Structures are given as C-alpha cells and as structure tokens.
Amino acid sequence: MTSKFANRKTKGKVLVALSGGIDSAVSAALLLRAGYDVEAAFMKNWSSTKGLLRNECPWLDDRREAIRVAAFLGIKLHTFDFEKQYQTKVMDYFFHEYSAGRTPNPDVMCNKEIKFGLLYDRAMRMGFDYLATGHYAQVKNRKLLRSADEFKDQTYFIYNIRPGQLNHVLFPVGKFKKSRVREMARKLGLPNAEREESMGLCFVGKIRLKDFLAQ
C-alpha cells in the first residue's frame, strides 16, 4: 500500500499505535513524511460498558476513527485483541488497589504492560524497527525527556519504559505544543482533526467510579 504522504526515503519500519485520536494520527502522518515505512496498530483492550458515563461502546468508536485515519493516510491497520491481558494486568491491579485502600494509576500500568509490553513485543516480533505512539515525551541519547508542552507532558505515565526499548520507540508529537498538533491535523486534512480529546481511563473511557468498581 502506497501512501500519498510517504517520502520515498526509508528510515526504518514503524508500527504506530493508532488510538483513533489526533495525537497518534498526526504521529503517523509525520513519520510518513519523514521517510519511515509506516503501518498502524489498533488495540482492543476493553469492551464492557458497565460503569461508563455513556452507554456507547468507546472501543468501537475509537476503532472506527482509526480505520478512517489509516485509510486516509494509506497505511495498513492491524487490530490486536489484548482484552484478556488488559483485564489481568491492568484492571485486576486497579480493583485490587482500591480494595486495599490505595489510589491506583491504571494509565501507568497500561503503558508498562500493554503499550510498551505486549504491543512493543508484538511489533519487534513482526519485524518492525520502532514502535511509535502519540505520547507527549521525547527520547534523546537513550534518555526519556519531557515534552515541549509542559502541560501535556506524559513522561510520568511512561517512566517504566525499559532502557533497552528507548532506541526503538518514537514520540513524533513530543517536540510540539498540543495546539500545534491540532493545527497540523487540520492542515493535513485528517478525518479526526476535530475529535475531542479523550480524558477517561486508559482504553476504557469516562467512568462512574462507584458503578465501575461494583463490577
């Protein structure tokens, strides 16, 4: 599949975690223009709607947007079902910490176990040179650094990335302000350029905590 955004030079093969949001979509477009061979991955991690603030199924909405973006960019989209692993590695931890009277951070665990655990390992096994995400962070000289946007910086959520992985992860939007990223999405004509930013639980959505914990 040839993308209209692709640069003829090839800097390596990249799997982009395409969430359906603006940041990952712009990341994919930037990598194509920079000369990388880009494919995308969408992860199905949570399908239950119990305890959500909306009765809709967020993962279906996200996947629909990811499909639209991949088609627009002209890149192949892989879909991986990590729902069982997400339950055991992220949600069981989430429920256990609350039951123990502690406040969990499922986003940190999600990044460690799912994005830079299962997905990273899958990308490497498939022969990709890099895994890219839409996180606001930077990597320089094998060090994880804060993003250019101090208000959107996400290094806390991905601090568990293993040192050996840092040569194989890319954060294309990390050097930009969020406002600039949205502006780029519009100029590129991305189909999800006006999509609202996700503020809910990682891969789950906005929740009613009491109802969610009652599952």
Q: Is 57 a known active-site residue?
A: no
Tell me if the pTM is above 0.75: yes
pLDDT tens-digit readout, 85-106:
998 999 888 888 887 888 888 8
Q: What average pLDDT score do residues 173-192 get?
A: 98
d(CA 164, CA 182): 31
Catalytic residue among 18, 110, 170, 204: 110
Which pLDDT does position 94 carry in this prediction?
82
> Residue 73: left (phi > 0), alpha (psi -120 to 50), or beta?
alpha
Which pLDDT does position 105 carry in this prediction?
86
Structural domains of the chain ordered from first start: 13-213 (3.40.50.620)
- DSSP sequence for 9-45: S---EEEEE--SSHHHHHHHHHHHHHT-EEEEEEEE-
Catalytic residue among 132, 169, 202, 204: 202
Which pLDDT does position 114 carry in this prediction?
96
Check pLDDT > 50 for residue 53. Answer: no
- Tokens linked to 128: 């990709």
Which pLDDT does position 174 carry in this prediction?
98
> How is residue 180 annotated by DSSP?
H
Which pLDDT does position 7 carry in this prediction?
65
Please give the radius of gyration of the chain, using alpha carbons only, rounded to the nearest integer. Answer: 17
In this structure, of 6-15, 47-56, 186-195, the range with the lowest mean pLDDT score is 47-56
d(CA 95, CA 102): 10
- SS3 string, 120-148, reads HHHHHHCCCCEEECCCCEEEECCEEEECC
Q: Is 110 a known active-site residue?
A: yes
Check pLDDT > 90 for residue 33. Answer: yes
In this structure, of 65-69, 78-82, 94-98, 130-134, the range with the lowest mean pLDDT score is 94-98
Residue 205 phi/psi, 5-degree rounding, is 115, -170
